[in-house]
Structure 1
Amino acid sequence: MREVKFRGRLITVATLDGHWEVVEHPDAVAVLVARGRELLGVRQARPAVGAATWEIPAGLIEPGESPAEAAAREAAEEVHLAGELVPVTRLYASPGFTDELCHLFELTRTRQARADADPGEHLVPEWRDALEVWTAVANGSETTSGVTLLAVRHLLARCGTFV
């Protein structure tokens, strides 16, 4: 049996069978944009963790939107690019407590595009070397999202760099 304990603008918290607490959250997308061994990300304030983080473009799938449509929108809003979207994989954000599924795409054959960022988002696009990002996360000098780290690992493997 499912019982809703809290319903907010972004999340719903429910209990299942009176025991399991589950955060119901909209699914998301993330977009890998690569140039050789570099990938394009954005640095932005993340109030939930009290820090600015560098991540690949990402965002929620809006109602009625397909994952590919959401990925195209996020790429245009966050890094001003459009192109061909190639599905890479999907992953759960944190399956121990939330149902959020993130769809990772790679954007290829890129061209300039322009869309307005979400209100309140102040994004700074930045190209980074994938191995440098991996090393910074591994040695603890930087923290990023799980889907960004997966994209970094995917790019490194494709470039023949195994870590």
Structure 2
Amino acid sequence: MADLPLHQPATLPAVLRHSTRADTATEKRGILLIPIAACLLINFGCRAPEPPDTRPSAQNNAAAQGCLEAFRADQLEAVLDRCDIAVKETPEDPAARSDRALVLNLLGRTAQACENVAQAIQLQQRRGAAVEPMLRHELSVRQAACKQERTMAGRD
């Protein structure tokens, strides 16, 4: 086998020095970036900021989370006070009443809890499909518990 002479590989500056295509490609790329940048600025840079999420469920979740936030079983009266505030702040929110019903149940105030469940179900029915499925399920379970309580007490 004959030994082929090995040449040093060409370096990038040497290639660019001898090629006019690289200069042309760089110029074209720069020219193409200008309209792209302009389109991006027009479409995204000039938009008004989007308003904060004002959907009812987002507001209601914040109130309900505030009610049961930092829940402590040894401070149920304080939790109930927070739930009362949440219900006053969002009177049309079935989740706030559902959470208050939970706390009332834990305090042994079953009749009041069941009243809150009934009110929450009424609010839920007014909203129709806007109620979250999990809340719908929670209310149906609490309603069944209330019915069982009434049956056991001989009132149903």
The structure that is strand-richer by fraction is: 1
With the length of structure 2 as denominator, give the TM-score of the two structures: 0.28
Query: Which structure has the larger Rg?
Result: 2
Higher relative contact order (CA 8 A, sep 6+): 1
With the length of structure 1 as denominator, give the TM-score of the two structures: 0.27
